[in-house]
């Protein structure tokens, strides 16, 4: 399935929830936030974006729709160096992708605050019902030491697993993806469509907690 199809399914399920807590890791300039808010106006949405320039746009674009945070979600809490670059359609950032190595993209390196997902949820005093990850390789760091407790507690997770982060070779991506799938299944989640193996391509997987 494509991200559009997976996200549409997630929005349909989100619209049936009553006052859900939503955490989006990698909100970019807010397009996804607005779609989630439209689908479920009662949702409390936390929009997390690492790139300071994108974050500025995010705040303006999502006034009244989300609680926005300029933050890296990773494996440790503290400070993180991120590589910010101009993608084909928008500005992007990644902890892993090196500036100048992705489609010869130009960019710069910035330092921002970082937190683990569990520390962030403890900070806000809420456990999310729905988590969306779109963080350009950061998903592998988030799951590196095992599945976060916040993910285990969620009802639904939309996970984009990227491949062009400039860190791993193709066979390592395959190993990491298999490990994440195993972790999600062990936590009681079920993928909403049988995955097609896609080497060297992004994968979009909607996981829903089995009742």
Token pair for 195: 């995955």
Question: Is residue 85 in a domain?
Answer: no
Number of domains into which the chain is organized: 1
Question: Is residue 198 in a domain?
Answer: yes
Question: Is residue 34 in a domain?
Answer: yes
Lowest-confidence pick of 40-49, 64-73, 171-180 = 171-180
| Segment 162-180 mean pLDDT | 71
Q: What percent of the chain has pLDDT over 90?
A: 56
Token pair for 66: 């989300």
Question: Is residue 108 in a domain?
Answer: no
For residue 47, give the CATH number of its domain.
3.40.50.150
In the prediction, which pLDDT does 108 show? 77
Question: Is residue 84 in a domain?
Answer: no
Burial of 126 (0-12, 13-18, 19+ CB in 10 A): middle
* Alpha-carbon span 114 to 70, nearest angstrom: 9
- Tens of pLDDT along 67-111? 999 999 988 899 888 877 665 545 555 555 544 444 445 667 888
- Whether the CB-CB separation of 158 and 27 falls below 8 Å is answered with no
| Secondary structure letter of residue 65 according to DSSP | T
Contacts of 151 (CB under 8 A, 6+ apart): 117, 131, 157, 184, 187
In the prediction, which pLDDT does 100 show? 46
Phi/psi for 173 (5° steps) reads -60, -45
Give one DSSP letter per residue of 12-60, joined into a string: HHHTTSSS-EEEEE--TTSHHHHHHHHH-TT-EEEEEE--HHHHHHHHH
| Domain, as residue range, for 169 | 3-69+127-209
Question: Is residue 111 in a domain?
Answer: no
* Alpha-carbon span 68 to 45, nearest angstrom: 8
In the prediction, which pLDDT does 193 show? 65
- Tens of pLDDT along 189-208? 999 864 544 544 677 899 99
Question: Is residue 92 in a domain?
Answer: no
Of the candidates 55, 52, 33, the residue with the CA atom closest to the CA atom of residue 44: 33
The residues facing 24 across adjacent strands are 47, 132
Question: Is residue 80 in a domain?
Answer: no
């Amino acid at each position: 399935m494509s991200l559009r199809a997976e996200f549409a399914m997630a929005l349909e399920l989100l619209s049936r929830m009553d006052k859900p807590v939503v955490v989006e890791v990698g909100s970019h300039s807010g397009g996804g936030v607005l779609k989630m808010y439209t689908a479920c106006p009662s949702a409390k949405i936390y929009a997390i974006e690492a790139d300071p320039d994108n974050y500025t746009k995010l705040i303006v674009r999502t006034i009244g729709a989300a609680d926005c945070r300029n933050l890296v979600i990773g494996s440790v809490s503290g400070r993180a160096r991120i590589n910010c670059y101009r993608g084909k359609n928008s500005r992007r950032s990644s902890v892993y992708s090196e500036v100048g190595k992705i489609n010869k993209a130009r960019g710069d390196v910035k330092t921002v605050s970082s937190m683990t997902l569990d520390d962030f949820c403890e900070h806000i005093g809420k456990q999310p019902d729905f988590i969306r990850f779109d963080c350009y390789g950061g998903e592998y760091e988030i799951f590196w030491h095992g599945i976060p407790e916040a993910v285990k507690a969620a009802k639904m997770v939309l996970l984009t697993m990227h491949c062009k982060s400039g860190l791993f070779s193709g066979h390592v991506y395959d190993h990491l993806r298999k490990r994440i799938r195993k972790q999600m299944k062990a936590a009681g989640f079920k993928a909403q469509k049988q995955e097609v193996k896609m080497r060297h391509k992004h994968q979009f997987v909607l996981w829903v907690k089995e009742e």
